[in-house]
Amino acid sequence: MTLPFVKAHGAKNDFLLTWRHQVPEVLEVAAVAVAICDRHIGVGADGWILLDDAKEEADAAIELWNSDGSRSEISGNGTRCAAALLVDSGRAGGDVRIQTGAGPKHLQLLERSGETFLFEMNMGRAQIEERDSSLAPGRKTVILNVGNPQCAVLVDDFEFDWQSMGAKLEHHPRFPNRTNVSFVRVIDSHTLDVRFFERGAGETMSSGTGSTGAAAAAVALGLATSPLTVRTPAGPLTLRWQQDDILLAGPAQIVARGEFILSAQ
């Protein structure tokens, strides 16, 4: 049995995309997500996105599975990858609307060069839950939600085992459904340097929702203001506030197409 896929990445946060009707109902989706995302015996990715036909006023609906087989409400980078596939396949124009687990999202195509796209996506409003959490002793920590749970930890540098701290915070009892963790270094009032430990995927090169959470946390603490550049290990993402909504601009690139052989597992 084979499953077709398109591979794309948003600032090196990579995803495999498959149309839902191409996935046989007999398959256990969580197990397939683990297998297809495996970087040694699978195709390799941070997550697997299933696309469904348009619902209501959206061009498509998407369902995100993390590489560990868990579900996630939304990925900013992953949603841009889905938008790139929709535009590339002629299912959407420059104005893309996608239904996600965190509600409908609107993306505007800013540029296209071959299989490389630049979108600005309305990430919605950040909901600050705890502006001064004590989860990371000695470090300012903000707990918030940007469509998925976020924990933003302010740091002076990355010269410590932030990955282990991220893993502990991800599974902290404060978060019954786990959380995404970002480590935020403020460069100036318009620039942040951020590292990401994502729920269900671990360390990633970038994160759209993580960047949104990091930026919203810095703004909430009075350390930054719109517009903002978030420096990630994969390159910069830019954010701006439009009233209470946060708009994030970043790339998406289609890099491969193929079939995954399930019987090989």
What is the structure's pLDDT at 55? 72
Per-residue model confidence as pLDDT tens for the chain (265 residues): 899 999 999 999 999 999 999 999 888 999 999 999 999 999 999 999 999 987 778 999 999 999 999 999 999 999 999 999 999 999 999 999 999 999 999 999 999 999 999 999 999 999 999 999 999 999 999 999 999 999 999 999 999 999 999 999 999 999 999 999 999 999 999 999 999 999 999 999 999 999 999 999 999 999 999 999 999 999 999 999 999 999 999 999 999 999 999 874 4
Q: What residues have CB less than 8 Å from 121, skipping those under 6 apart?
A: 76, 79, 80, 83, 105, 106, 107, 108, 208, 247, 248, 249, 250
- pLDDT, position 62: 97
d(CA 209, CA 166): 16
Q: Give 238-246's long-range contacts (Cβ < 8 A, gap of 24+).
A: 239/123, 239/211, 239/212, 239/215, 242/122, 244/125, 245/122, 245/123, 245/124, 245/125, 246/122, 246/123, 246/124, 246/125, 246/126, 246/146, 246/212, 246/215, 246/216
